[in-house]
Chain A
């Protein structure tokens, strides 16, 4: 596991080591996947900088493209309005660790992906008898 206080200069292959990785909150709770990365290009020149992790079906739909992407976008719109237009954005400054998974210094319920999970939980899972979710 990496340490954020480790000396700078660590090299990462972004697709291999960040894309599709599990995001884990500060308590070890699963909080979505890294579906894409936002990259900003400084106006004054210099190398581009990764500014945020993008998460949620909206980001994934854009990345997939084609029929599968449109299906993911439609599903996303049904679950959470605005999910496609505004994919969840986790600033890089909130990353605590990058290893087998990405640990963020946030609580899962602060994460944008939590809205989808909450919609599924309240709209579907809690109506299943025996699901153990309050209201079932």
Chain B
């Protein structure tokens, strides 16, 4: 049985817990990075490909859209996102399984 579902929703990924294969807690998904692999109008194959999960600590700032991953805009928004632990990208290639509410990652090479 595959460790990946055929289809999922963005909401299945957002807020999911990221764990290492040894069960170690890594963080939660704050956002998902996608890259436009080609013009959108050319259809499925040239659509938006997922490249990375933005992962950080669970917290009120993330729920309010003020995590470092979202720190764009006026200086005050960037200032509010500055202190505290950072949000790191985890490449999709490191994901080894997607389960309800939980994503398992293997070794991460950056």
Contacts and interface: CB of A to CB of B under 8 A. Distances in A.
Interface of A: 4-6, 8-16, 19, 36-41, 43, 47-51, 54, 59, 62-63, 91-93, 95-96, 98, 105
Q: Is the interface of B mostly helix, strand, loop or mixed?
A: mixed
A93 B48 contact: no
Given A13-B31, A13-B32, A96-B41, A8 B50 contact: no
Q: Is the interface of A mostly helix, strand, loop or mixed?
A: mixed
B40 A93 contact: yes
B22 interface: no
B42 A38 contact: no
Interface string B41-85: 111101111110010000000000100011010000000000000
A11 B11 CA distance: 19
B110 interface: no
Contact of A47 (B11, B40, B69, B92): B92
B19 interface: no
A8 B70 CA distance: 22
Most-contacted residue by chain B among A10, A15, A19, A91 (CB, 10 A)? A15
A12 B34 contact: yes
A91 B43 CA distance: 9
Contacts of A5: 39
B92 A48 contact: yes
Most-contacted residue by chain B among A10, A19, A48, A91 (CB, 10 A)? A48
